[in-house]
Structure 1
């Protein structure tokens, strides 16, 4: 059974994670501190950062910033805030979107996405996104990267159950009449690969372009590659079609199967 659809995670998988999201989240935290009249409270700012897995500019691969939803981040913040904030999740969504718009020039691709997606589509494969981010922020990023027309399905956490629930994969399959065995799922975190496992897709592929470590990803992945551009080898074959040929092409690729 051939692969007919690929679901890509967004942050750390098709776009560089640290170039944008640390900057955005630090800005959101500053906005939050200002809103509750705690500007300059470095202790609280540190607590807020730690609550989502951000420490001294480094991202915990298992923290909320790495793979959590906007609601996860809002809930983590609320636990350390000195007061309850009404409609906090909505405020978080709006603040993240606004900060992303202000820093859109920092949204950068991990590789030449247009070229890669063209090659994938030429093989008759449908491309989708499965992200913990919200719909509006996701569309904003895709438009900036110039790939919004390449993406035929947007699975975001405000429209579907959050990963690692299989719901996004199930809806992708339903929309395009695909079987789970015809799907490859690609991401940079353990949550992404757990989604692949829970969904029973054909392949779960880990990429090292985001926050996930090779050791953690290898425990769950069928393949671990440096970036998504390695999904097709020098002979224009997918890695699952020719593992041996792809391995010879790239000394950096690690194949678990």
Structure 2
């Protein structure tokens, strides 16, 4: 998919797989959450993890699987069905695990801090849209000193709905005063690209720092980059095309 050059004034980032290394950050978190859901039974926890898309042989996750793409309440709903548990209560329990431990397990993608500082320095409005909780988003980004760059941080529990719905983009536009066409959505999954497309975002950028590959993202994104470190150069290229 290709897009005509456009004027981008704001960037809404996915968090995990885009700003943070997904497998390094979430393999330990998902194991903790599964063990919590399983009542401490490691055999049951392993069954939950594998049903969610975790591969124990590689300590990684299947692209676009439940654990990679779904919101906490959807993950809890799937696990609750397997366990015969109450989904709302399980959502609270696994969210509490994520919020308590995400700062300890968070691993930034290379160059994340510098890329965000440069983009903010250009006067762009920056935001985060995650299917994690809002509190966990703040906790996992705080160790890197980048929270101050964001005008807007939204999780599945922030009142805008969850991905792949358009609500988080709409919330970002409301918070910044930008039209959707002036917003770039940057993420590592189909859910991110679908969210941006359904909201009318002007630019959809896939990045390869998550679980998906180039062939997986290319049909859904206008551009696919190795990481957000290449985003500033892409914006310059698009601006040059527009002037030409």
TM-score, normalisation: structure 1: 0.84
CA shift, 1:182, in A, is 0.5
CA shift, 1:11, in A, is 0.2
CA shift, 1:218, in A, is 0.4
Per the alignment, residue 133 of structure 2 pairs with: 134
Per the alignment, residue 95 of structure 1 pairs with: 97
Q: Report the Cα distance in structure 1 between the residues aligned to 2:109 and 2:192, rounded to whole angstroms.
A: 17
Per the alignment, residue 29 of structure 1 pairs with: 34
Q: CA RMSD in A?
A: 1.9
Q: Report the Cα distance in structure 2 between the residues aligned to 1:82 and 1:161, rounded to whole angstroms.
A: 25
Q: Report the Cα distance in structure 1 between the residues aligned to 2:95 and 2:49, rounded to whole angstroms.
A: 17
- Unpaired segments ≥5 residues, structure 1: 244-257
Residue 111 of structure 1 pairs with residue 110 of structure 2 = yes
CA shift, 1:171, in A, is 1.5
Per the alignment, residue 231 of structure 2 pairs with: 231
Q: Deviations over 1:147-172 (max 9, x none)?
A: 01011101211112101111111111
Q: Which structure 2 residues correspond to residues 28-47 of structure 1 after superposition, within 5 A?
A: 28-34=33-39, 39-40=41-42, 42=43, 44-47=44-47
Q: Report the Cα distance in structure 2 between the residues aligned to 1:172 and 1:111, rounded to whole angstroms.
A: 25
Q: Which has the higher contact order (CA 8 A, sep 6+)?
A: 2
Per the alignment, residue 240 of structure 1 pairs with: 238
On the 8 A contact 1:108/1:145 being kept in 2, the answer is no
> How many residues matched?
233
Per the alignment, residue 168 of structure 1 pairs with: 168
SS at 1:34 equivalent: coil
TM-score, normalisation: structure 2: 0.88
Residue 14 of structure 1 pairs with residue 19 of structure 2 = yes
Per the alignment, residue 3 of structure 2 pairs with: none
Q: Deviations over 1:26-81 (max 9, x none)?
A: 1222233335xxx24x2x23320122111222311121211111101111111211
- Unpaired segments ≥5 residues, structure 2: 1-5
On the 8 A contact 1:180/1:199 being kept in 2, the answer is yes
Per the alignment, residue 52 of structure 2 pairs with: 52
Q: Structure 1 stretch 223-232 or stretch 114-123: which is displaced more?
A: 114-123
Q: Greater helix share, 1 or 2?
A: 2
On the 8 A contact 1:10/1:131 being kept in 2, the answer is yes
Larger radius of gyration: 1
Per the alignment, residue 246 of structure 1 pairs with: none
Q: Report the Cα distance in structure 1 between the residues aligned to 2:20 and 2:164, rounded to whole angstroms.
A: 20
On the 8 A contact 1:107/1:145 being kept in 2, the answer is no
